Amino acid sequence: MKKLLVSLAVLIVIALVLIGRIDRTPIHSTEEYKVTMDNVHETVKKLNKAIPSQDTLLVGWSSECIIPKGEPLPLAGYGFRGPYRMVRDSLYARAFSFDDGIRESIVLTLDLMIFPIEVRKRLETKLNTIGLTTDDVMFSATHTHNGMGGFDPSAIGNAAMGLFSEVGTNKITEASFKAIVEARKHKSKGSVGFLKSESPEWVNNRIVHNGRKENSIRGIKITREDGKNAAIVTYNAHPTNIEMNYWILSRDYPGAWVSYLEASDKIDFAAFCAGMVASHGPADPNHNHDCFSRLENMGKVLSDSILNIWDKTPTQAVVNTIIQKTPIDFRPSQVRIEKHLKVRDWVFRSASGGLEGDITLLKLGNINWFASPSDISGEIAIDYEYDKLVKQKNEHFMLTSFNGNYVGYITCDAYYDTLESFEIREMNWVGPEYGAYFGDIIKELIEN
């Protein structure tokens, strides 16, 4: 009996050490919210003090393959998988340099599931050698679920993205840095414009049957005086056309989209950045059972949507290009065990490194491009009516995911206690009301 009581006591102590209750303090009343809103106001001050450019914009771009030779890297996507067995299409780092004569802003997107935190950290040192910092870079990824893994040394990273590879991580870092260097080296006078179209038939709400979805195709049109043109495009559907039983490297539909754009007579270079993908999956109006035909068809339709509006999309040559990053102050992590219980924060921090991130804003003329340290849902943009807010200022809005940190899924707060999907339960690491938290940050930055 005594042994039983001792065992029960030990189990209770272990449970108390490892498990806590979900913090449901209203987010707007927290110190973290106040600190972050102070950070937002500091960002606004910096933007308002920025010296306007009077020079013609200089733009350059470049790409580099990120696949290391002879290293059997694991696949990242659909949970833990082993090494890839073949390459269907190569994976790249694609970089753009926008120089307004006063400031230089870099866009860097990778054909990976997320932008690796470890790669971002390593790039900081390398960028310092060419007069840049990671504060000058808008990070993104295509979110392909058939890209390389092995780039996250944390316990969670090893479990979710495959065993850490120094060779693979170093290759991604070196290729990213070289793409940035080459993009800067080949700048030429140019202009930029905002691309926007709709494609509702190729995206669905993957957590609510017939639920709301943000259908937009958004992007940046780039033209140069040397006759070269480029595009940065974004869409809100997860790149999950290829099923998990194919152990191949592929860019999924973003790769097909980019290839079709570059094969046209209008665009020489293109890149994709994952949009508001949380709660959004790919659809197929043709009901094609072959996943490779499906992704090719999707890429072609999305490409045509851009090409059809290309010529009538105006551009500006004299624009300001400014990147500002607003740090987010996070409450202790809230990885749920059940409705009211969570893993204690010290456990999560030990396994992952903890919660850290910012809302990145790239202002490119009248384009407000925001990026989140997460998967973020297009339903938040619908709720906050961001397009309506920017229209009042004769500006444009776009929002992408995976900006160099990662804090899980940010979805509508109404789902937190009503849905039991993987996105809402296992992949929400921050707790309730963070849809409103992130939504408020972006809204304040737009309005002020």
Q: Could you list the pLDDT tens digit for every one of the 448 residues in the chain? A: 665 555 555 545 555 568 999 999 999 999 999 999 999 999 999 999 999 999 999 999 999 999 999 888 999 999 888 899 999 999 999 999 999 999 999 999 999 999 999 999 999 999 999 999 999 999 999 999 999 999 999 999 999 999 999 999 999 999 999 999 999 999 999 999 999 999 999 999 999 999 999 999 999 999 999 999 999 999 999 999 999 999 999 999 999 999 999 999 999 999 999 999 999 999 999 999 999 999 999 999 999 999 999 999 999 999 999 999 999 999 999 999 998 999 999 999 999 999 999 999 999 999 999 999 999 999 999 999 999 999 999 999 999 999 999 999 999 999 999 998 989 999 999 999 999 999 999 999 999 8
Distance, in Å, from the CA atom of 397 to the CA atom of 371, rounded to the nearest integer, reads 11
Distance, in Å, from the CA atom of 102 to the CA atom of 375, rounded to the nearest integer, reads 32
Shortest CA distance to 238 belongs to which of 271, 275, 213? 275
Distance, in Å, from the CA atom of 3 to the CA atom of 63, rounded to the nearest integer, reads 65
Distance, in Å, from the CA atom of 348 to the CA atom of 354, rounded to the nearest integer, reads 6
Are the C-beta atoms of residues 323 and 138 closer than 8 Å to each other? Answer: yes
**Would you state the structure tokens that stand for residue 39, as one six-digit string?**
């950070």
Q: Which stretch of DSSP H or E encloses residue 6?
A: helix 2-18
| 28: Cα within 13 Å, side-chain hemisphere | 4
**Which pLDDT score is estimated for 94?**
98
- Ramachandran category for residue 434: left, alpha or beta (phi over 0 → left; psi -120 to 50 → alpha): alpha
* DSSP secondary structure string for all residues of 19-64: EEE-----GGGSHHHHHHHHHHHHHHHHHHHPPPP-SPPEEEEEEE
Distance, in Å, from the CA atom of 354 to the CA atom of 346, rounded to the nearest integer, reads 8
pTM of the prediction? 0.95
Domain residue ranges of the chain, discontinuous segments joined by +: 58-310
Label the pairing between strands 335-338 and 203-205.
Answer: unpaired
The counts of H helices and E strands in the chain are: 11, 24
